[in-house]
Structures are given as C-alpha cells and as structure tokens.
Amino acid sequence: MNRRKFITNTSATSAFVGLGGLTLGSCSQDKPTKITILHTNDVHSHIDPFPSDHSDFPNLGGLARRATLVDNIRKENPNTLLFDAGDIFQGTPYFNFFGGELEFKLMNMLKYDAATLGNHDFDNGVEGLLAQIPNAKFDLLSANYNFSNTTLDGYTKPYKTYTLNNLKIGVYGIGIELKGLVTKRLYKETEYLNPFEIATDIETQLKEVEKCDLIICLSHLGYEYANEQKPDDLTLASKTKHTDLIIGGHTHTFLEKPTVVKNAIDRDILVNQVGCFGINLGRVDFYFDGATNTQSQGVSIKV
C-alpha cells in the first residue's frame, strides 16, 4: 500500500496532516532511524591523557575527556551503543597496580555495552581476568575462544543482541590466536577456533535466527597482515555475508577513515580501527528507513 497516497486521500484538513506527520515521524518513515556505534580499541590502560611534552600524542586521549565526548553523542542520539575491541589491559602502571579494576569500572561509568578480548587481556592469566569480571557491567563477547576447560567458562558470551527503536542489533566477538602471543601458562586451556568459520556461523545465526537488522563484529584479529596465512579483518570482511561493520584492534592501526571492503556477496561493508591508547573514538552512524517503498536501492556509504 502506498502510504503517501493514503495520507493525501484521508486528510480532511491541514490540522489533520500535521498530526499525521507526527505519528509518522515516530514510526520513522520521513525521518530515518539513526543508530550510532561508538568504539575504541587497544586502550592499554591509558586512563590519563598523554602529557603535553609527549612526542607522539601530546595532550591526546584520557578517559575523562572520552566520557564528555560520549555523553555529548548520547545526548544527540539516544540510540547509541559503545564497544571496545580488546586490549583494554596493560600499558600503564594502572594495570600493574590494580590489575584492570579501574579500566573496567571506568568503562562502566562511560556505559560501555560490550567488549571483546585482546591478547593482553590475558596478561594476568585467565584467573587475573576472571578476578576483574565482577567489576565489569558490560558483556565480554568472544565467539572463537572455547573457555570450557578454564575457569572463565560461562563468563563470556559469543554474541549479544540489542533492540533500539525497533531495530535489532547483533554484536559478536572474535579473538586472535593466543599461541605465540601469550604464554600458555597464562591462557591455559583456552582453545582458539577458526575465526572465519565461527564468524560466518554466528553472523548467520544473528541474521536468520535472531533476525537482526544490523550485525557488528568486534575483532581483535588485526587489520591486515602481509602473511596471508594469518587471519586479519580485511580477509574476515571478504568472507562474511551478513556482517555490516567490523570494529578491529590489535595492530594499533590509525585509519584516517573506515575502510570499505566487498564482502562474500559483493556488498560494501566497513572495517574500522582507531589506533590505540584512547587517542580516538570511532563513530559509525547507520540510517534506517522504515518505508516499504523506499526510493534508494542499496546503501550509500559516506566515509
């Protein structure tokens, strides 16, 4: 049914049209629904901003400033989610002294929705991570680490869904192979599963079973490797079918803007990574049109 015609035919007075417009607006035909995804990666316990005499990042970063920025964006768009792509821990004495407690508690204060695990999040072992989990009010998402034979079993989820303004958003986590990066004594019996196979399984479940409108991967694989055998985000993007955005980490890659990659069914999707140490906040806005007779075929990507 053509709703625009319906409105024209039934509106008897101009007052009527005004009221109708209001109703329609809330149901998102004229004004698209905007979902804002904010993200960090590889913050590495950088809670304070860099000092003004730092040679690489003078006066940049800092949790208290990030909090202001995130808060401003949430006020502008309440349909906002905030994620981290791992390596929350290790890099300043805050971690050496408090084992990640402050990192997690501050992430709660910024209302992080979820994070995936980076290799450095195992730096105090599975026990050290487990000890901090009660301090996290956000979810730890990890689909390709099997923790069944560790004390972390049951404390992470492969994915999580969020419903904002009638839109369902599915988010899953993918981690890097720990062997060679982290000593076995720390990650213990954590089993690493093929990230590509797990990602395509989980995204299919999010699309077909969970009926998600938007699917996001939090990945700590790394942006790109010269060694083709080593899984990276660009390859992951090219193998997925339903994932709309890969939020990456590990390689501390400062992208000027998100990278557009063709996925397995030739659709353009985004891979983003915002360097490290809380220097940048990534922001990706997704606009959804509620109309059945939408004029635009395909998605316009502005980066």
Partner 1 sequence: MNLKITHFVIFITIGFLTSCSESPKKLIQIEGKQIPIDTSYAETDSINDYIKPYRNRINEVLDSTLAYATHKISKEDGLYNTSAGNLIADIIKIQANPIFKSRTGNNIDFVLLNHGGIRSIISKGAVTARTAYEVMPFENTIVVVELNGKSILDLVQYLINTKRAHPISGAQVILSKNNKLKTLNIQGKPFDNTKTYFVATSNYLVNGGDNMGFFKDGLNVSETDYKIRNAIIDYFKKVDTLSPKVDNRYYKIK
- Residues 166-195 close enough to bind partner 1 by CB under 8 A: 166-167, 183, 185
Q: How far is the CB of 229 from partner 1 (least distance, A)?
A: 18
Nearer to partner 1 among residue 98 and residue 162 (C-beta)? 98
Instruction: Fill in the DSSP letter of residue 139.
Output: E
**Contact status: 140 vs partner 1 (CB under 8 A):** no
**What is the footprint of partner 1 within residues 234-273 (CB under 8 A)?**
244-245, 254-258, 270, 272
Write down the least CB distance from residue 213 to partner 1, Å: 6
Number of residues that bind partner 1 (CB under 8 A): 84
Q: State which amino acid sits at residue 264.
A: A
Q: With contact defined as beta carbons under 8 Å apart, do 159 and 172 qualify?
A: yes
> What residues contact 301, with CB distance under 8 A and at least 6 apart?
260, 268, 270
Given the complex with partner 1, which of 45 and 205 has the nearer CB atom?
45
On whether the CB atoms of residues 123 and 186 are closer than 8 A, the answer is yes
CB of 1 to partner 1, least distance (A): 6
Among candidate residues 14, 33, 37, 36, the one with its CA nearest the CA of residue 25: 33
Q: How far does CA 213 lie from the centroid of its chain? A: 15
- Site residues for partner 1, 111-130, by CB under 8 A, read 123
Pick between residue 10 and residue 194 the one whose CB is nearest to partner 1. 10
Closer residue to partner 1 in complex, CB, 111/160: 111
Query: Which of 82, 85, 106, 169 touches partner 1 (CB under 8 A)?
Result: 106
- Residues 6 or more apart whose Cβ sits within 8 Å of residue 286: 34, 35, 36, 37, 214, 244, 245
Residue 278 C-beta: closest distance to partner 1, Å = 6
Rounded Cα gap, residues 155 and 147, in angstroms: 9
- Report the residue number, 190 or 259, with the smaller CB distance to partner 1: 259
> What residues from 43 to 72 belong to the interface with partner 1 (CB under 8 A)?
47-49, 59-69, 71-72
E strands, 183-237, are 191-192, 214-219
End-to-end CA distance of the chain: 35
- Footprint of partner 1 on 2-41 (CB under 8 A): 3, 6-7, 10-13, 16, 19-20, 23-24, 27-29, 32-33
| Nearest distance from C-beta of residue 77 to partner 1, angstroms | 12
Residue number, 229 or 297, with CB nearest to partner 1: 297
CB of 235 to partner 1, least distance (A): 20
DSSP state of 19: H
Can you spell out the DSSP letters for 75-114? HH-SSEEEEE-S--S-SSHHHHHHTTHHHHHHHHHTT--E
Q: With CB under 8 A as the contact rule, which of the stretches 92-100, 111-119, 145-153, 216-224 interacts with partner 1?
A: 92-100
